Amino acid sequence: MPTAVILLAAGSSSRLGQPKQLLPYEGKTLLRRAAETAVAAAAGAPVVVVTGALHEELLPELAGLLVLPVRCTNWALGMGASLKTGLVALKSLCNNWDTVAVMLCDQPHVTTTVIKQLAATYWHTGQPIVAAEYGAVRGVPVLFGPEVLPLLQEISDAAGAAQLLKQHPQLVATVPFAAGAIDVDTPEQYAALLGEGTLPRSDHKQDSR
């Protein structure tokens, strides 16, 4: 069965000072790049894009893509709130999917291949959670099997998917993805992404609701 995708793009980018979703990189905004990757990886399965601080402003970046944009009204509570909003929306759509991958819009090096590797590892290992691994971090993008979706729905609003990975490490398989450490939360990180400085790498992902 295909892998559905929830793309989280709800944050206010408070540390950056401008909407990270709309930052250009290699000819496209970060949101457009991530959404196109999600659609390609889903291969016909549904893709839900969760917005929050911005909604109408982001819709043009999703034009022409087979995605469902959904606004999380309580996005400010944290990534968990956005993730649960995405799950509810996903379950309202068709059932031609088995696993769910969670992506963030500010990891520009996530590719369709990475998402497919997560799915392949799920089927090969039988582990219900497959996370990208960069350095000592297990994090997003991350794939969840149907057997753990009830646990995902119970995470706190303030926490992200990482909470589940820490609570149930015995359920987690990993896929090496060093470039997963590269994200855009600060002006310095964006400048480095554009080749204008040394890239500060994140220890974990919790900002990009």
Query: 3-class SS at 134?
Result: strand
Q: What is the mean pLDDT of the chain?
A: 91
Structural domain total, the chain:
1
Place of tokens 């970060």: 30
**Residue 199, pLDDT above cutoff 50:** no
Report the pLDDT value the prediction gives residue 111, as an integer from 0 to 100.
97
**Residue 209, pLDDT above cutoff 50:** no
Report the pLDDT value the prediction gives residue 161, as an integer from 0 to 100.
87
For residue 204, tell me if it sits in a domain: no
Provide the domain limits for residue 116: 3-193
CATH number at residue 188: 3.90.550.10
List pLDDT tens digits, range 91-142.
Answer: 998 777 989 999 999 999 999 999 999 999 999 999 999 999 998 899 999 9
Q: How confident is the model at residue 1 (pLDDT cuts 50, 70, 90)?
A: confident
List pLDDT tens digits, range 8-41.
Answer: 999 999 889 899 999 999 999 999 999 999 999 9
For residue 164, tell me if it sits in a domain: yes
98 Cβ neighbours under 8 A, 6+ residues apart: 1, 2, 3, 145, 146
For residue 200, tell me if it sits in a domain: no
For residue 66, tell me if it sits in a domain: yes
Distance between first and last Cα of the chain: 27
For residue 205, tell me if it sits in a domain: no
For residue 198, tell me if it sits in a domain: no
